[in-house]
Amino acid sequence: MDHRPQAWGRPRDDIYGAYDGSYLQNSGPKQATQSPVVTGTSVIAIKFADGVVMAADNLASYGSLARFTDVKRLRTFHDNTVIGFGGDVSDMQYLDRLIGEIDIDQEYELEQLPDREAQKSVELMQASNLFTFLRRQMYHQRNEFNPLWNQILVAGFDDEHKPFLASVDLRGTSFTSPSLATGFGAALAQPIMRKYAATDEDAARLTRDQAVDVIKECMKVLFYRDARSLDRYSIAVVTKEGIDLKENEQLEKQSWAFAERIKGYGTQTV
């Protein structure tokens, strides 16, 4: 019998066999996210004359299971930036906290200033600046072999106060374009959006209403064909006046008439 204090209260090896401590993982290599677990699907966005529209549905999937149906995947930053997350939801929540800390720091700095006039003269962090931070963070994590499994869209304005839209993924690859989409959206929504805004000049001729319509149309196409999508979604419009974020929109005017004509799959014989 082992009477040492380390063994107190533990099942005895001679009766129960050696304890299987394999799940504790305390002497193996550091474990990082090697594949996403709970995931969000596409995020889509398009620039227009005086801002950017972005949308993402409210679903977080666990593989093919529609696990959480009320997850908000768009977040705002300081009333001038919208960030959309595709990919792993827990990594999204981690990034959300990082961004939240920056937001708080900036708000606090403003609070320290004596009056409204002084606060107005301060150059706030713009979408382009926050994007640089996210790009650096994502690239840093990939260098550590501990990637944040997301593809992120950032919308707002750049230093010259022109509409800004950019994307960064889990490897730190970043790019900008008049319209952007992650995941399935890159194949299904991007071709539609490019019809309306192939270049920045085209985007600068789009009105707010046109841009919102294009995005809604794309969300509908995605719901028709992306099996990991939902008909409830969030949509955000960012302009110089601020952000208009609606987090519980319902897809309108769906038409499944086309489904009747789809035949020839599986065991169907007629």
Partner 1 sequence: MSMFSQNPLMNGPNYSFSETPRVGAPEGAREHRFDPYTDNGGSTLAIAGADFTIMAGDTRTTSGYSINSRFHPKVFKIGGTTADQKDATLVLSVVGFAADGEALKERLDSICKMYRYRHGKPMSVKACAQRLSTILYQKRFFPYYAYAILGGLDEEGKGAVYSYDPVGSYEREQCRAGGAAASLIMPFLDNQVNFKNQFIPGSGEGHALQERERRPLTRQEVEVLVKDAFDGAVERHIEVGDGLQMMVITKEGIEEIILPLKKD
Q: Which residues are at the interface with partner 1 (CB under 8 A)?
A: 2, 4, 6-7, 10-14, 18-29, 32, 34-35, 139, 142-143, 145, 147, 167, 171-177, 186-187, 190, 198
- Please, which residue, 104 or 187, has the CB nearer to partner 1? 187
Shortest distance, CB of residue 13 to partner 1, whole angstroms?
5
User: Residue 177 Cβ, how far from partner 1 at the closest point, in Å?
Assistant: 4
Residue 91 in tokens? 């990594």
> Which residue type is seen at 235?
I
Identify which of residues 158 and 213 has a Cβ nearer to partner 1 in the complex: 158
DSSP per-residue letters across the chain: ---SGGGTTS--HHHH-S---GGG--SSPPP---S-SEEE--EEEEEETTEEEEEEES-EEETTEEEES----EEEETTTEEEEEEEEHHHHHHHHHHHHHHHHHHHHHHHHSSSHHHHHHS-PPPHHHHHHHHHHHHHHHHHTT----EEEEEEEE-TTS-EEEEEE-TT--EEE-SEEE-TTHHHHTHHHHHHH-SSHHHHHH--HHHHHHHHHHHHHHHHHH-TT--SEEEEEEEETTEEEEEEEEE--S---HHHHT----TT---
Give the shortest CB-54-to-partner 1 separation in angstroms. 17
Q: Which is nearer to partner 1, 75 or 85 (CB)?
A: 85
Active-site annotation holds for 269: no
At a CB cut-off of 8 Å and minimum separation 6, what does 192 contact?
214, 217, 218, 221
Q: Please identify, using beta-carbon distances, which residue of 90 and 176 lies nearer to partner 1.
A: 176
CB of 188 vs partner 1, minimal distance in Å: 11
- Paired with 249 in beta bridges are 233
Are 270 and 263 spatial neighbours (Cβ–Cβ below 8 Å)?
A: yes
The residue annotated as part of the active site, out of 33, 76, 132, 176, is 33
Place of tokens 């085209």: 202
CB of 270 to partner 1, least distance (A): 36
CB of 180 vs partner 1, minimal distance in Å: 8
* Cα–Cα distance, 219 to 198 (Å, whole number): 19
**Residue number with CB closer to partner 1 (31 or 121):** 31
Looking at the Cβ atoms of 16 and 256, the one nearer to partner 1 is 16
The residues assigned a catalytic role are: 33
